[in-house]
Chain A
Amino acid sequence: MIRFKCNGKAVQLEAEPEARVIDVLRDGLGLTGTKEGCGRGECGACTILLDGKPVNSCLLLAGKIADREITTIEGIASEDGALHPIQEAFLDKGAVQCGFCTPGMVLSTKALLDENETPELEEIEEALSGNLCRCTGYGKIVEAVREAGQRLMHESDQQGDA
């Protein structure tokens, strides 16, 4: 039995400690938003956040997530269905084409912007260097990350004012 927190909720389920976390999420919890593109940690499609840090869930074993907190793409939008500013920015800036890399891209972006809403270009490149995309050419993804950072900053300013 493994207990962990997933998208804000306490979870416990039967899983072998050496099971891959991507399988625990997809098969055990039905969270199929996490994608498998290579199974070797080379493409980033399976990126999730483990205690806020991006990790490849295809390389992560279930035993390592006990009592820790996981965020998947399903946990990004609000409960009421409103998209997160990162998701909105990805759509507005055309950073999504086929969408298979998108969950991982969004999560890597979230980890980056949670630390710093105005990252330098090099920081964006570094943060997303493990997430491959074959469709977009990446330019619009960079734009989306910047736009999302701006929107998040604006949001926190507004909250600060209130």
Chain B
Amino acid sequence: MNVIGKRIRKVDGFELVTGRAKFAGDYKFPGMVYGAVKRAGVPAGRITSIDVAAARNTPGVIDVLTAKDIPGPNLIGVLPPYDQPLLAENEIRYAGESVVLIIAETAEIARSAASSVSVSIEPYDPILSVEDALAPDARKIHESGNITLSKKLIKGEVKSAFEKADVIVEGVYETSFQDHAYLEPETVCAVPGRRITLYASCQSPFHIRGHVAANLNMPASSVQVVQAVTGGSFGGKDDVAAEIGSLACIAAQRLNRPVMIAHERKESIIGSNLRHAARIDCKTGALNDGTIIAREITVMLDGGAYASESPFVTMKTLIHAAGPYNIENVEVESTAVFTNKTYCGAFRGFGVPQVTFASESQIDELADKLGMDRLEIRRINGLKAGDANATGQVYQQSVGLQETIEVIAAQPALPDRIDVARYLHGTGYACVAQGISNGAEGIDVTGASVQMSQDGSVLVGIGLTELGQGSRTVWAQIVAEVLGVDIENISVRLVDTDSVHDSGPTVASRSTTVGGMAVQKAANEVKKSLVSMAALMMQTDEENIELRDGYAILKMDDAARIPISSVATAAYWTGFPLMNLAFSKAPEANFDDDTHQGDIYIAYNYGTHRMDVQVDTTTGEVKVLNHFAAHDVGRVINPLGLEGQVEGASLIGFGMAHMERIKYADGIIQNANFADYALPSIKDRIPTKSIAVEDHNPTGPFGAKGAGEPPVAAAAAVFANAISDAVGFRFTRLPITREDILDAIQQRGNHG
């Protein structure tokens, strides 16, 4: 391998370090105007009247739109029937709900006019907890009721299995809402015309195109969505981009002027999806030898006001709740519930961090009760090739969990673990598995094109988006490897719905695996043309030709070589195709809808983390001394990119576990800014050391598997386990903040 496995720097990095990259907010068009919305400000109620007179009379205001001005159905969402209005018409379901759109000559005027709008709302008693939403006499937030989706996974027979268990542990675990906090707030820019163009900071342009077109009441073919360089997404720039993208396009068409809508930070927090808060009831039964024979888990997700990705997050928690273990009897019930809070949806990890925290906490509790080593119990129960996981799916290959455990076990121990009065030390372990591909969430197809020019340079097109995770570099490496050209000669197109193929959503850690397979396939087809041409030119058989270092080379005589550019030129004039559009379709999930037994994902990423912490008992302050993060990624395509994914995802997991909490009071978010919402800064970083385990995955390019999400779950869980090890008691709610630790230590001190 010449390029696969090498530390290749980002192929799109030059623009980013020089300030030349065009993010959505950097676009400028003549006559451009700006949009801002008036939000409800109360969590639940019915709109009785809207007074926009003051806004209309504000100098510089050009247009004022309410629900009745939306040409289409005024709905967006992830799954039909869509439930989320662009502008609320009657019902208010959360405080951040948009009600009126103001278009003005400047963003400042639009904002100030929006604040002058008076929306009269007859308030309802807001439903602010899952319990209230599920009360028998609860007001229905949506016509369909307050349950978004409820599903069961049933493997074996837990009831009788628990009767056979020597040891049973039970607990309830909770997690809080988390904000994506990408540094670039959501921004879109719409340019009107016979066909309208939307430049958007977004994650899934084809999904947005559908919603924009529907709400414009135009065919999808009249809408072009171009992904601007996107300043982070982590699952977050999908629904909200569809919302403001549709609004901007509708206003642009009405006014025949370009319209930009850029969220302020506060709007980014209150008006776009969050990570679900969860309550997880978990019960685990084991034999005295440590074999886990039964797990029974109930997951309740607070999904906020709209469905968004809640149904899929529900499925994901269902499938992952029992953890990466070989357990004969498993029963899980997952339910997502509507409340009058900011809607929840996709966020890196997609439900797996919540359930992994619960599961891994309980594995430790079980080990303690059995008097067993905490890593040993994971070894005993951890999945191996040939085992059936919670859905009964058996993988004969690429189940590298045990190797990640061994790699972690082999890391050096803390040098001196000396607990003095003030400082307590602890070590935690956590295992994770995370499914790769859409799996139970839908059919997984990716289209990708590879196109060589006569000069030997290559253009790659794919409908999956670069969001900072380095996917473009991975795809370029795959093409460079297949075609033997320098990575400098490869460009990856911006995602423009006019010029690349729909590749499905950029989710589920699928870009490297499913996307990479399509890219590899297309590159292989172009390679065929080049090899055929080179064989003709060298008057030899095709199997004697290899493409390497920018040349077609005769295998038996390294000196006999023709530059690829010459081969490409000859191929062009001979009529050999130098472009190919290939599709990669993952095997479809095949499972029973009542029990969720069956084959779901094309692969899993497996991981084991270890974290060593020091807790200052006088302040509650935690110092992370070591963090080892081992993941089975099948094959490393780019170590530099992989480390970046593992380190970055780990800090998001750490934030979830230790620092970040969306604070509500009466349905209103109280900390919608970076001063009050504690985002990890450079001083809070953890010393994550990424360790790659490579257990070849037959369903990925060169054996690779995605890695973007799984470290979030493991890092969150391992923090909780390390803290518990240090202080000697368990915290069952995330985040475990410094204040929580101090309070708990002081309370125990007082009572002890």
Q: Are A100 and B23 in contact (CB under 8 A)?
A: yes
Complex Cα–Cα for A76 and B17 (A): 9
Q: Hey, what's the 0/1 contact readout for A86-117 against B, CB within 8 Å counting as 1?
A: 01001110101111111100100000000000
Complex Cα–Cα for A57 and B14 (A): 23
Q: Are A74 and B19 in contact (CB under 8 A)?
A: yes
Q: Are B185 and A102 in contact (CB under 8 A)?
A: no
B234 contacts across to A, CB distance below 8 A: 134
Q: Hey, what's the 0/1 contact readout for B497-529 against A, CB within 8 Å counting as 1?
A: 000000000000000000000000000000000
Q: At the interface, yes or no: B400 with Cβ under 8 Å from chain A? A: no
Q: At the interface, yes or no: A136 with Cβ under 8 Å from chain B? A: yes
Complex Cα–Cα for A106 and B18 (A): 9
Q: Are A97 and B648 in contact (CB under 8 A)?
A: yes
Output the nearest chain A residue to B674 by Cβ-Cβ distance.
A42
B644 is contacted by which of A83, A94, A132 (Cβ under 8 Å)?
A94
Complex Cα–Cα for A44 and B278 (A): 32
Q: Are B183 and A45 in contact (CB under 8 A)?
A: yes
Q: At the interface, yes or no: A77 with Cβ under 8 Å from chain B? A: yes
Q: A77-B18, A98-B232, A125-B683 are contacts. A35–B674 as well, Cβ < 8 Å?
A: no
Complex Cα–Cα for A27 and B291 (A): 65
Closest 6 CB pairs of A and B: A33-B19, A98-B468, A100-B231, A99-B16, A73-B19, A137-B647
Q: At the interface, yes or no: A36 with Cβ under 8 Å from chain B? A: yes
B184 contacts across to A, CB distance below 8 A: 35, 37, 45, 98, 100
Complex Cα–Cα for A120 and B264 (A): 35
Chain A residues within CB distance 8 Å of chain B:
26, 30-40, 42-43, 45, 72-74, 76-77, 83, 87, 90-92, 94, 96-103, 106, 124-125, 128-129, 131-142
Q: Which of B245-274 contact A (CB under 8 A)?
A: 264-265
Complex Cα–Cα for A96 and B688 (A): 17
Minimal beta-carbon separation of A151 from chain B (angstroms)? 14
A128 is contacted by which of B13, B644, B682 (Cβ under 8 Å)?
B682
- A32-B19, A39-B264, A94-B643 provided; 8 other pairs, C-beta below 8 A? A33-B19, A37-B265, A73-B18, A74-B18, A96-B16, A97-B468, A101-B183, A142-B685
Complex Cα–Cα for A39 and B25 (A): 14
A-B contact pairs, 13 of them (CB 8 A): A32-B23, A37-B265, A40-B673, A42-B265, A99-B17, A102-B16, A125-B682, A134-B183, A136-B644, A137-B688, A139-B685, A142-B682, A142-B685
Complex Cα–Cα for A72 and B20 (A): 12
Q: Are A98 and B675 in contact (CB under 8 A)?
A: no
- Of the candidates A37, A90, A99, the one having the most CB atoms from chain B within 10 angstroms of its own CB is A99
Q: Are A96 and B10 in contact (CB under 8 A)?
A: yes
Q: Are B9 and A135 in contact (CB under 8 A)?
A: no
Q: Are B183 and A43 in contact (CB under 8 A)?
A: yes
B686 contacts across to A, CB distance below 8 A: 137
A103 contacts across to B, CB distance below 8 A: 19
Q: Are A33 and B10 in contact (CB under 8 A)?
A: no
A26 contacts across to B, CB distance below 8 A: 26
Complex Cα–Cα for A136 and B651 (A): 8
Q: At the interface, yes or no: B657 with Cβ under 8 Å from chain A? A: no
Minimal beta-carbon separation of B649 from chain A (angstroms)? 8
Output the nearest chain B residue to A122 by Cβ-Cβ distance.
B683
A76 is contacted by which of B18, B229, B650 (Cβ under 8 Å)?
B18
Complex Cα–Cα for A37 and B184 (A): 5
Q: Are A38 and B650 in contact (CB under 8 A)?
A: no
Minimal beta-carbon separation of B415 from chain A (angstroms)? 19
Q: Are A87 and B231 in contact (CB under 8 A)?
A: no
Q: Are B674 and A97 in contact (CB under 8 A)?
A: no
Complex Cα–Cα for A98 and B15 (A): 11
Q: Are A138 and B651 in contact (CB under 8 A)?
A: yes
B644 contacts across to A, CB distance below 8 A: 94, 97, 135-137, 140
Complex Cα–Cα for A72 and B229 (A): 19
Complex Cα–Cα for A36 and B262 (A): 10
Q: Are A139 and B647 in contact (CB under 8 A)?
A: yes
What DSSP secondary structure best describes chain B's contact surface?
Answer: loop
B68 contacts across to A, CB distance below 8 A: none
B232 contacts across to A, CB distance below 8 A: 97-98, 100, 134-135
B183 is contacted by which of A33, A35, A73, A77 (Cβ under 8 Å)?
A35
Q: At the interface, yes or no: B687 with Cβ under 8 Å from chain A? A: yes
Q: Are A40 and B643 in contact (CB under 8 A)?
A: no
Q: Are B17 and A90 in contact (CB under 8 A)?
A: yes
Complex Cα–Cα for A131 and B681 (A): 7
Minimal beta-carbon separation of A111 from chain B (angstroms)? 15
B14 is contacted by which of A83, A94, A134, A142 (Cβ under 8 Å)?
A83
Q: Which of B1-50 contact A (CB under 8 A)?
A: 7, 9-10, 13-23, 25-26, 28
Q: At the interface, yes or no: B467 with Cβ under 8 Å from chain A? A: yes
Q: A32-B22, A42-B675 are contacts. A106–B183 as well, Cβ < 8 Å?
A: no
Output the nearest chain B residue to A27 by Cβ-Cβ distance.
B28
Q: At the interface, yes or no: B181 with Cβ under 8 Å from chain A? A: yes
Q: At the interface, yes or no: B640 with Cβ under 8 Å from chain A? A: yes
Q: Are B648 and A31 in contact (CB under 8 A)?
A: no
Q: Are A92 and B9 in contact (CB under 8 A)?
A: yes
Complex Cα–Cα for A36 and B263 (A): 11
Minimal beta-carbon separation of A107 from chain B (angstroms)? 10
Q: Are A40 and B682 in contact (CB under 8 A)?
A: no
Output the nearest chain A residue to B8 by Cβ-Cβ distance.
A94
B673 contacts across to A, CB distance below 8 A: 38, 40, 42
Q: Are A87 and B675 in contact (CB under 8 A)?
A: no
Minimal beta-carbon separation of B430 from chain A (angstroms)? 17
A91 contacts across to B, CB distance below 8 A: 9-10, 13-14, 17
Minimal beta-carbon separation of B179 from chain A (angstroms)? 10
B13 contacts across to A, CB distance below 8 A: 90-91, 96, 99
Minimal beta-carbon separation of A10 from chain B (angstroms)? 21
A140 contacts across to B, CB distance below 8 A: 643-644, 647
Q: Hey, what's the 0/1 contact readout for B163-194 against A, CB within 8 Å counting as 1?
A: 00000000000000000111111000000000
A139 contacts across to B, CB distance below 8 A: 647, 685, 687-688
Q: A99-B21, A139-B647 are contacts. A32–B675 as well, Cβ < 8 Å?
A: no
Complex Cα–Cα for A33 and B23 (A): 9
B682 is contacted by which of A38, A90, A131 (Cβ under 8 Å)?
A131
Minimal beta-carbon separation of B94 from chain A (angstroms)? 22
Q: Are B651 and A98 in contact (CB under 8 A)?
A: no
B9 contacts across to A, CB distance below 8 A: 91-92, 94
Complex Cα–Cα for A128 and B265 (A): 20
Q: Are B183 and A98 in contact (CB under 8 A)?
A: yes
Q: Which of B610-660 contact A (CB under 8 A)?
A: 640-641, 643-644, 647-652
Complex Cα–Cα for A161 and B181 (A): 47
Q: Are B643 and A33 in contact (CB under 8 A)?
A: no
Minimal beta-carbon separation of B392 from chain A (angstroms)? 36
Complex Cα–Cα for A73 and B687 (A): 29
Minimal beta-carbon separation of B83 from chain A (angstroms)? 29
Q: Are A37 and B685 in contact (CB under 8 A)?
A: no
Q: Are B682 and A36 in contact (CB under 8 A)?
A: no
Q: Are A39 and B265 in contact (CB under 8 A)?
A: yes
Output the nearest chain A residue to B644 by Cβ-Cβ distance.
A94
A135 contacts across to B, CB distance below 8 A: 232, 468-469, 644, 648
Minimal beta-carbon separation of B107 from chain A (angstroms)? 10
Q: Are B19 and A34 in contact (CB under 8 A)?
A: yes
A32 contacts across to B, CB distance below 8 A: 19, 22-23, 25-26
Q: Are A137 and B648 in contact (CB under 8 A)?
A: yes
Complex Cα–Cα for A48 and B284 (A): 55
Output the nearest chain B residue to A99 by Cβ-Cβ distance.
B16
Complex Cα–Cα for A57 and B733 (A): 39
Q: Are B231 and A132 in contact (CB under 8 A)?
A: no
Minimal beta-carbon separation of B436 from chain A (angstroms)? 20
A36 contacts across to B, CB distance below 8 A: 25, 185
Q: Are A133 and B17 in contact (CB under 8 A)?
A: no
Q: Are A38 and B651 in contact (CB under 8 A)?
A: no
- Of the candidates A39, A77, A139, the one having the most CB atoms from chain B within 10 angstroms of its own CB is A139
Minimal beta-carbon separation of A79 from chain B (angstroms)? 13
A74 contacts across to B, CB distance below 8 A: 18-20
Output the nearest chain B residue to A131 by Cβ-Cβ distance.
B682
Q: Are B674 and A40 in contact (CB under 8 A)?
A: yes
Minimal beta-carbon separation of B715 from chain A (angstroms)? 10
